[in-house]
Amino acid sequence: MEQEVQRVDIEEIMRKIREEAEKLRYEEPVSFEDVEIPAVMTEKNDRDSEFSLKKAEQTLDHINAMWEIPYGHVINGNPLKKLLARLARKINKPTGAPMAEDITKFNAEATQGMNEIMKFIRGALKKEDEMSRRIFELETEIRQLKKSAGKKA
Amino acid sequence: MKIIQLMPTMSYGDAVSNDALAICRLLAESGISSSIYAENVDPRLKEKSVFLLKDLPELKKEDLMIYHLSTGTDLNFRVGEFRCRKVMVYHNVTPPAYFALYNRGLEELCTQGLRGMVHLRKTFQTVIADSEFNRQNLLDAGYECPVQVAPILIPFDDYAQEPDGETIRKYSDGRTNILFVGRIAPNKKQEDVIRAFDCYRRNYNPEARLILIGSSFGTENYLEKLKRYAKMLGAEENVVFPGHISFRQILAFYRTANAFLCMSEHEGFCVPVVEAMYFRVPVIARSMCAVPETVGEAGILLEDARPEPAAAALNRVITDGALRERMAAAAEKRLQELSYETVSGRIRELLLPLVRGAEGVKA
């Protein structure tokens, strides 16, 4: 019974909202689709900010997902466009395919190098964390020793 | 018998990582020890049960692996090679088309994620999906194993922390605050939130403020486009993008919000609407994907993205005290269904038979 009352309530609220919406006048001055997508680098103005492990890992995830450059991308479009694109691809293949292969080889090496650097960074951050903890423990010990030395005096 | 959770990355404060930690905790509460292994582990995570994948011991067929899938990774194509029993927790992968105009890397990552999800369709004994929507995704991809639904385990205790005082003071200036929390990403349709807000402010409340909280890493050009859009609507002074803020500041924004508006077009669960309910902020959300099942009857669900019904709904929840009270009562009921006790009970129900079902297992 309580659920039924609640349902009627919601229907009533929605009915009032729809009625009110009918009375509203809204003309969008500009459509979102018409706003240009700005060419923003993903690390825009960020060269001076602090190192962010999360950002570095996310960028590396993206690089690991897209290092391979296949010569043949899926061609979308109408049948004529597809045919012309396939033809152009076939004509360019003797020069295009080896170039894509060279780029892929370089990307694979660069990606592997960056993955190794990331391993080093993580290791270094872990060591730094351990050192900070040890320093904190030693500082606490020193404070306690000073306290006991002060009491004895 | 070893029980391990496996994922590509254990991040700090991320929903999927929090879910894994919560599962670890609830297994421990049942007297079962488990560990989490990931290819990448954020060094800020101090949990003793989190390790790097390279340190994973050999898994035998009686061991149990709980795999978290939420993104594209090589790991999706290697999971099947492990000899142990396997369960998956599926958090959903955003359809790649959303990123086509903004970030080819993200588009490729999501494409890989969906390919991985399909590749794994015969790998698991059982799958836990965060929502019925996610469950249906898996069935559509050809999953024939049992796919059960259990909501995300949300760390409600964290929300009791002290909110940031300065933010509270700044945003308690008498202006109406409308909030949306979620990654600045095309599937979240922040442009529709801005459009609905613009309709609201022009028709009802010119001084109102819209606060859009979320990280824009990887979608910086989408964020810039949203800012330009708000400026072209004449709402530059009313639309706030706080950018990278602390958890206590996020709590402060929830505490000063008068309404939560979600126009997402794709969500696998949508934790922020639950957070809004927790803070008694009335929720208005577009009824898409997993959002209606997460909201239940605790919010106002919009049939489409038209700005007029959203604006009318905003005005109603902001001006009608009795309606807000009824919504708060409905939210309270919904929160009980999503509480740690209820959801962890459900997950235990699904996992414990698998844990205890192995030969010679003492759990």
- The backbone torsions φ and ψ at residue B277, rounded to the nearest 5 degrees and listed phi first, read -60, -40
Structural domain total, chain B:
2
Does residue B349 surpass a pLDDT of 60?
Answer: yes
What's this model's pTM, rounded to 2 decimal places?
Answer: 0.78
Q: CA-nearest residue of chain A to B298?
A: A10
The answer to the question of residue B362 being in a domain is no
CATH number for B325:
3.40.50.2000
Mean pLDDT of A25-46: 75
The predicted pLDDT at position A40 comes to 59
The answer to whether residues B258 and B141 belong to one domain is no
The answer to the question of residue B54 being in a domain is yes
**DSSP SS3 for A46:** coil
Q: How many CB atoms are located within 10 Å of the residue B335 CB? A: 16
The answer to the question of residue B363 being in a domain is no
The answer to whether residues B312 and B164 belong to one domain is yes
Q: Strand B259-262 to strand B177-181: parallel, antiparallel, or no bridges (unpaired)?
A: parallel
The answer to whether residues B150 and B255 belong to one domain is no
Closest CA to B14 of B163, B151, B215, B211: B215
**Each residue of B66-101: pLDDT tens digit?**
999 998 888 899 999 999 999 999 999 999 999 998
Is A16 within 8 Å of B316 when comparing Cβ atoms? yes
User: Which of B9, B203, B229 minimises the CB distance to A57?
Assistant: B9
Q: Hey, is the C-beta of A131 within 8 angstroms of any chain B C-beta?
A: no
**Each residue of B30-44: pLDDT tens digit?**
888 999 999 888 877
Is A10 within 8 Å of B297 when comparing Cβ atoms? yes
The answer to whether residues B65 and B79 belong to one domain is yes
User: Which of B191, B218, B233 minimises the CB distance to A58?
Assistant: B218
- To the nearest whole percent, how much of chain B has pLDDT over 90? 75
Give the structural domain span for B78.
3-154+340-356
Q: CA-nearest residue of chain B to A55?
A: B217
The predicted pLDDT at position B236 comes to 94
**DSSP SS3 for B188:** helix
The answer to whether residues B207 and B352 belong to one domain is no
Q: CA-nearest residue of chain B to A36?
A: B225
The whole-angstrom separation of Cα A92 and Cα B266 is: 40
Is A26 within 8 Å of B330 when comparing Cβ atoms? no
**Both tokens of residue B54?**
């390279």
* CB distance B268 to B185 below 8 Å: no
Answer positive or negative: Cα dihedral of A11, A16, A17, A19: positive
Q: Mean pLDDT for chain B?
A: 92
* CB distance B262 to B273 below 8 Å: yes
The answer to whether residues B50 and B144 belong to one domain is yes
ipTM: 0.81
The answer to whether residues B107 and B235 belong to one domain is no
* First-to-last C-alpha distance (Å) of chain A: 79
- Identity of the amino acid at A110: A
The answer to whether residues B83 and B142 belong to one domain is yes
